[in-house]
Chain A
Amino acid sequence: MNKRVVVTGMGVVSPNGIGLIEFLPNIRNAINGIKYIKELELYGLGCLVGGIPDISKCEDFFTSYKLYYLSYSTKYSILACEEAIQNSNLQYTIHQGKEPDYNTGIILGTLAGQPDFLGMLMHYVDKKMNKKIRTFIAEQMMISGSTALISGLYGFGNYCSATSMACASSADTIVQGFDRIKQGKAKRMLVGGYDSYSPYMWTNFDILRIISREHNDSPEKASRPMSSSPNGFVPSSGAGVLIIEDLETALTRNAPIYAEIIGANSNCGGQRQGGTMSAPNIYASRKCLKDCIEQSGIKNSDIDYISGHLTSTMADVLEIQNWNNVLGRRGKDFPYINSLKSIIGHTIGAAGAIETIAGILQMNNSFIHASLNCEKLHPEIEKIADRSRIPLKRVENVEINCFAKSSFGFGDVNSCLIIKKYKS
């Protein structure tokens, strides 16, 4: 079965914009979504900056559908799904429909699930205030809580699952959805992921000393992917959801087609050959990228742009070296590459999906957004990619026909997607 898989809907909740209408101009103009977070002072974290989407204007939306006690993860996910459904011209309405839609499924990924609820729940239980807990809270504490709630809102009947692959979680949901459609098991999948702010989660990153501690007084300077001075990633939060669909089904219903996914692959380095829980087995990372390119049937020279994982850690260098090794391209021949994390921080479980959406937006609008704070490139990166390929300022009128999105995560996991402009 050789089904083609296209993207027909996109929804985003990002610290620098809710919905594509805000997100597109804000990535175009590199509007920074990273702020000082005063509350973190109370918990004694070294890192006091991060990204939190402001969804206060959306609260009425939830109560209008009688949705109460929603975690931030669930709120972000619902908003992203609703937007993707709207701009895919699908006719789902919350709470409507008598029968499930067996053609449509949902898989959302997350690293931490509902850490804000975890804190609240522990407080209630420890203080013997059990009766404060409501069914909405208890249900959402399932790892699949947000996904199950959303599946129920729209009546998705094909598949309903939550997945977790650390920082590659949402990239991997795209891989899973792609496989499902290719195999003919689903006609349409909502895929993507989410993660939300909570001291109960961000403290873990802080204790692992993997988040930025040196720019608390200048939050917009904290995320420095590819620079000579990366000092840890900037924790962030949000959600990204894509609707991916079998091409025939999309054409039959006259759906808008934003892009075609031609390769999607995940693997794991097994924490061998230098790989650990937190460091990559570079051979596995390279294999993941290589297998994905092979699957897509393109030549290495066809990749115009790479939407990097590039978190602002020492692993940035490995990532560029891996792409150089796999593509055999360097200098001015290296594809354009940038890091959305330089603008909005690391949205963890949402990162792969939000960055894929940002990649599609750049492809369809012919620009490469700025990669901030890498005025001075890391010397090892400078050896590989020409300065012009890592834009400090937006590059306009760029013909992007095909781009690669890679995501990596703790547990030595890798995901890669090859996405191109849709042509009939």
Chain B
Amino acid sequence: MNETKEKLIKILKTYSFNEPVFYTLTDESDLKDDLDINSARIIDIVLDIEEEFKIEIDDKAITKIRKFGDIVEIINSKINK
């Protein structure tokens, strides 16, 4: 697993109520249904990511976040610029 994903998992674990799921995590894992993250906390996750990766995530991108892979894609698109 690459460094980006490792950092992201650390952030997600803070808010997830289903930590065992991280052993079988895939890009398709759903933040709400699989990781059991309260959707009110997505904003916190975004703020944590912005701070950790020193990037800015726009409002439009936030509304598209559903799965683990969605966030990885957003981060990669920003840090590879």
Taking beta carbons and an 8 Å cutoff, which residues of A are in contact with B? 66, 68, 95, 131, 134-136, 139
Contact = CB atoms under 8 A, between A and B. Distances in A.
A66 B14 CA distance: 7
Contacts of B15: 66
Nearest to B16: A66
A228 to B, nearest CB: 55
A70 to B, nearest CB: 14
B26 to A, nearest CB: 23
Interface residues of B, number: 10
Given A66-B17, A68-B14, A131 B44 contact: no
Interface centre among A66, A131, A134, A136 (most CB of B within 10 A): A66
Contacts of B43: 134-135
B40 A131 contact: no
Question: In terms of DSSP, what is the predominant structure of the interface of chain B?
Answer: helix
A135 B14 contact: no
Interface string B10-24: 000011010000000
Interface in B13-51: 14-15, 17, 40-41, 43-44, 47, 50-51
A45 B41 CA distance: 39
B8 to A, nearest CB: 17
A135 B17 contact: no
15 contacts: A66-B15, A66-B17, A68-B14, A95-B17, A131-B50, A131-B51, A134-B43, A134-B44, A134-B47, A135-B40, A135-B41, A135-B43, A135-B44, A136-B44, A139-B40
Nearest to A130: B47
Interface centre among B17, B40, B43, B44 (most CB of A within 10 A): B44
B47 A131 contact: yes
A136 B14 CA distance: 13
B7 to A, nearest CB: 17
Interface string B33-73: 00000001101100100110000000000000000000000
Contacts of B50: 131
Nearest to B40: A135
B21 to A, nearest CB: 14
Contacts of A66: 14-15, 17
A175 to B, nearest CB: 33
A124 to B, nearest CB: 12
Contacts of A136: 44
A405 B47 CA distance: 47
- Leading 4 A-B pairs by shortest Cβ distance: A134-B44, A135-B43, A135-B44, A131-B47
Contacts of A139: 40
A95 B36 CA distance: 11
Contacts of B41: 135
A223 B47 CA distance: 45
B61 to A, nearest CB: 16
A136 B47 CA distance: 12
Contacts of B44: 134-136
A68 B16 CA distance: 13
A153 to B, nearest CB: 12
Nearest to A133: B47
Contacts of B47: 131, 134
A144 to B, nearest CB: 15
A225 to B, nearest CB: 44
